[in-house]
Amino acid sequence: MKRVRKAIFPVGGLGTRFLPATKAMPKEMLPVVDKPLIQYAVEEASAAGIEDFIFVTGRGKSAIEDHFDYSHELQQTLVERNKTKELESIANLLPVPGQVVYLRQQEPLGLGHAVWCARRLVEDEPVAVLLADDLIKSDTPCLKQMVEAYERTGGNIVAVMDVPREHTNRYGVLRPGRDDGRLVEVMGLVEKPKPADAPSTACVIGRYILQPEIFRELDRQETGAGNEIQLTDAMARLIGRQPFHGLRFEGRRFDCGDKAGFIEANIAFALAHPDIGPQAEDILRRFGRELKPAGAAA
Ligand code: G1P
């Protein structure tokens, strides 16, 4: 079985849900406390043993490249001012030269298309895909949990979480087979079904380990839900030909593609932050006292 060494980060999306914040800044650079979303995803991949980082970007995303690059001026200034802690905070951002590739998705044709754009860099190896919008707070990084599962099952693995039935139209949804509560056999996948049509409430969260055959399926460039080239549809065609599992990961997932989810993530990460945790707690308590009880008249 080939080890998972490569990861794709689709970061070409426009981030319209966060306008005007994302007019001139990539949504992946939105900070949760003091780190941009994309850095959480890259650190998670790195902790899972990923060695090659492939960013599928688009116009207006150069801040992401700058973030993972050496900033001579900043570095120099911090050294001169003896800002050791600040220096440390940026020291780990530098990938080994040659480990990172940026390529452009020229047209926003969907997640499947973004992943397909990386096909020539992945070649015949398994590959991880991480969507930075899905931020996961856990003891063991989510992708690491998936790699460990992959070492037992092989094939394809998606991160899975149960959601309220009325939300199935936001996700790829599993038709589950054998299920031991943690590892679920995937018998089918549907992208964004209406709640009444959803085969279950077990949904795909933005972490994938995929076999290179996915690219042959994506080669078809067929459009699906929302008239986009869907990764879910390509994955569905691998079922039955290769092992395919969902992993109910340990951890809490925040939907940072959504304003409320993004605020929730900031609160959770602030509370757990070594510098500002106690302050964040005080702030929340104060707000709590000011809030009217749920359901009270305005
Ligand atoms: C994408 C995928 C969907 C998956 C979701 C997880 O949707 O298409 O299958 O469940 O990510 O966040 P998007 O959120 O880009 O609409």
Q: What is the pLDDT of residues 187-205, one digit of tens each?
A: 999 999 999 999 999 999 9
pLDDT band at 86 (very low <50, low <70, confident <90, very high): confident
**47 in Cβ contact with 161 (< 8 Å):** no
Question: What domains can you pick out in the chain, each with its CATH number?
Answer: 6-257 (3.90.550.10)
User: Closest Cα to atom 7, ligand 1: which residue?
Assistant: 171
Mutate to test the pocket of ligand 1, among 8, 16, 109, 111 (most ligand atoms within 8 A of CB): 111
Alpha-carbon separation of residue 274 from 33, 136, 257 (angstroms): 11, 18, 25
Alpha-carbon separation of residue 6 from 9, 68, 97, 155, 278 (angstroms): 10, 17, 15, 15, 38
pLDDT band at 295 (very low <50, low <70, confident <90, very high): confident
pLDDT the model gives residue 85: 85
Q: Catalogue the E-assigned strands of 140-257.
A: 156-162, 172-179, 183-191, 202-210, 244-248, 252-255
pLDDT the model gives residue 298: 57
Q: Is the CB of 233 under 6 A from ligand 1?
A: no
Q: Is the CB of 172 under 6 A from ligand 1?
A: yes
pLDDT the model gives residue 72: 84
pLDDT band at 74 (very low <50, low <70, confident <90, very high): confident
Prediction pTM value: 0.94
pLDDT the model gives residue 297: 63
What average pLDDT score do residues 84-100 get? 82
230 CA: nearest ligand 1 atom: 8
Q: What is the 202 CA–ligand 1 centroid distance (Å)?
A: 13
What average pLDDT score do residues 1-22 get? 92
- Buried b or exposed e, range 67-92, using 16+ CB within 10 angstroms: bbeeeeeeeeebeeeeeeeeeeeeee
pLDDT the model gives residue 94: 75
The percentage of residues in the chain with a pLDDT greater than 90, rounded to a whole number, is: 84
pLDDT the model gives residue 291: 85
- Tokens 């699906």 identify what position? 224
Q: What is the 172 CA–ligand 1 centroid distance (Å)?
A: 6
Q: Is the CB of 191 under 6 A from ligand 1?
A: yes
**In the predicted structure, residue 104 carries a pLDDT above the cut 70:** yes
pLDDT the model gives residue 148: 98
**Rounded distance, CA 282 to CA 85, Å?**
25
Cβ atoms within 10 A of the Cβ of 130, count?
A: 27
pLDDT the model gives residue 48: 97
Q: What is the 46 CA–ligand 1 centroid distance (Å)?
A: 22
Q: What is the 110 CA–ligand 1 centroid distance (Å)?
A: 10
C-alpha torsion sign, points 199, 205, 206, 211? negative
Tokens of 62: 């150069």
Instruction: Please report the DSSP string for 21-70 in residue order.
Output: TTSSS-GGG-EETTEEHHHHHHHHHHHTT--EEEEEE-TT-HHHHHHTS-
Q: What is the 5 CA–ligand 1 centroid distance (Å)?
A: 23
Instruction: Please report the DSSP string for 80-144 in residue order.
Output: HTT-HHHHHHHHTT-PPTTSEEEEE-SS---HHHHHHTTHHHHTTS-EEEE-TTEEEE-SS-HHH
User: Which one has a higher pLDDT value, 298 or 140?
Assistant: 140
pLDDT the model gives residue 225: 93
Q: What is the pLDDT of residues 140-187, one digit of tens each?
A: 999 999 999 999 999 999 999 999 999 999 999 999 999 999 999 999
191 CA: nearest ligand 1 atom: 9
pLDDT the model gives residue 2: 92
Mean of per-residue pLDDT scores for the chain:
94
Alpha-carbon separation of residue 298 from 4, 143, 152, 264, 295 (angstroms): 53, 44, 54, 23, 9
Q: What is the pLDDT of residues 223-234, one digit of tens each?
A: 999 999 999 999
Q: Is the CB of 262 under 6 A from ligand 1?
A: no
226 CA: nearest ligand 1 atom: 16
Using CB atoms within 10 Å of the CB of residue 286, give its burial: 0 to 12 exposed, 13 to 18 middle, 19+ buried: exposed
Q: What is the 249 CA–ligand 1 centroid distance (Å)?
A: 17
pLDDT the model gives residue 207: 98
